[in-house]
Structure 1
Amino acid sequence: MASSTQTQKRPDPQAKSAGKRADAQRNIAAILDAAVSTLGRTPEASVSEIAKAAGVGRVTLYGHFPNRTDLVDAAFAHAIEEGERALGQVDLDGDPRAALSRLIASSWHLVDRFRSLLLAAQSVLPASRIRELHAEPAARVERLVERGRHQGVFRTDLPTSWLVGVMHSVMHSAADEINAGRVDTDDAAAFITATVLASFTPPGEPVPR
């Protein structure tokens, strides 16, 4: 006679753990996207505002990011990673000066998009951390500058690191000028390109237009 008691299937602990990890990853992605978007509009946005935008509770957010500084750091790193994927598509072949102009145009688009997020980062992160997060974008410019120096179209009397720093400083200054209402966003890329090419051109050589 068959038993009327059915064998119950035991829950799989590994499947349950995998589900929790998947939920956690979705929450993290939602929090980072919300942080980038919210801080990109309002640099002083609170953790509560970011949690609300992400559709999670404060407890969930703090479970992944213990404090606002950690959250801002992660959001800024997330934005730079996103930017790196875009900058990796920029054609840097050919004349280094033309390549630099293309790189500035694409880089400025990202700086402009994330300039309020940069303000949030600068308010809580040390300058050394911001430089660290910019290391890969800086390396891309450095490689291009080295090629231009080798071809004689960029100056060699100043260190490459200094020239790269000049470019990033001009971009961040442009963001500050826009935030202050002294420069229009549509004019910034041309201003940056003109300033950087003038700075990179060897002394005595005509500045390309």
Structure 2
Amino acid sequence: MSPDADAPTTDHRRATAERNVERILDAAAALLARGAAASTTAVATEAGVSRPTVYAHFPTREALVEAVAERAIHRAAAALADAHLDEGSPLDALDRLVDVAWDHLDRGGAIARAVSDQLTTGARARAHTALRGPIGELLARGQATGAFRTDLPTPWLISSYFALMHACGEEVRAGTLDAADAVSVLRPTLRAVFTG
């Protein structure tokens, strides 16, 4: 039997494994968004797979939660790339950043809140690193053109951006700010922070 004869079987197994991983991650994300514990048993039930299948891909609950967070961050980073923060005026790009970031935070806020409490410091740092780069590049471009302030350290401005975005999410969840008003509040607030 030729080696090529095993290729369809291997491809089928790989495709099944990839589908299972997506189902598991979707299930864990859904449970976390509902405020559920996302135990292995609950994830397996929600995903329609066996517990051994979950363990085969994610040997610990921590690994699963980190994978959920990483997938959400990768999706947010892709959305930032699609926002073309390197085009147009820095202030207009900042507005686009707020629009895109709020859309992801609004949809994934419950997941972000759930996983942030459960991730290690290193995992949280890795999660934000993918987003800090594009924001830092936008800040540098704005500073080079004189649109953004230069009197405060760039890492502090980026951290302030994240803090305000998350604070807005908390206000919406607490019912003190309407989600429909979030972008109109965030845009001028972040413009003021970035421009001084």
Check the 8 A contact 1:72/1:121 in 2, yes or no.
yes
Say if 2:52 is the partner of 1:59: yes
SS in 2 for 1:182: coil
**CA distance in 2: counterparts of 1:124 and 1:161, whole angstroms:** 24
Q: Bigger relative contact order, structure 1 or 2, given CA contacts below 8 A and separation 6+? A: 2
Q: State the partner residue of 1:48.
A: 41
Q: What does residue 199 of structure 1 align with?
A: 193
- Deviations, residues 91-141 of structure 1 (Å, cap 9, x unaligned): 321210111011111111101111111122122112332121121211101
**Aligned: 1:125 with 2:122:** no
Matched residue type, 2:57: H
Please, which runs of 5 or more residues in structure 2 have no aligned partner? none
What code does the residue aligned with 2:124 have?
A: I
The CA deviation string for residues 132-158 of structure 1, in whole angstroms up to 9 with x for no partner, is 112121110110110111111111011
Q: What's the counterpart of residue 178 of structure 1? A: 172
Structure 1 vs Structure 2: percent identity of aligned residues? 37
CA distance in 2 between counterparts of 1:87 and 1:43 reads 29
Task: Indicate yes or no: 2:133 matched with 1:139.
Answer: yes
Partner of 1:98: 92
Give the equivalent residue in structure 2 for 1:72: 65
3-state SS of 1:153 partner: coil
Aligned residue in 1 for 2:148: 154
What TM-score do the two structures reach when normalised by structure 2? 0.89
The amino acid across from 1:105 in the alignment is D
Larger radius of gyration: 1
Contact between 1:36 and 1:79, CA under 8 Å: does it hold in 2? no
More off after superposition, 130-139 vs 71-80: 130-139
Aligned residues of 1:43 and 1:116 also touching (Cα < 8 A) = no
Q: 1:162 to 1:43 in 2, by over 3 A?
A: farther
**Structure 1 residue 14: deviation in Å?**
4.9
**8 Å Cα contact 2:32/2:111 also seen in 1:** yes
Q: Which residue of structure 2 aligns with residue 9 of structure 1? A: none
Q: Which residue of 1 aligns with 2:181?
A: 187
When normalised by structure 1's length, the TM-score is 0.84
Provide the rounded CA distance (Å) in 2 between the counterparts of 1:116 and 1:108: 13
Q: Deviations over 1:140-188 (max 9, x none)?
A: 0110110111111111011111111110110111112222222221111
Secondary structure of the 1:66 match is coil
Q: CA RMSD of the aligned region, Å?
A: 1.8
Q: What displacement does 1:42 show?
A: 2.2
Moved over 4 A (4+): 12-15
Write the letter of the residue equivalent to 2:39: S
Between stretches 26-35 and 148-157, larger displacement belongs to 26-35
Aligned length: 192
Q: Answer yes or no: is 1:83 the counterpart of 2:73.
A: no
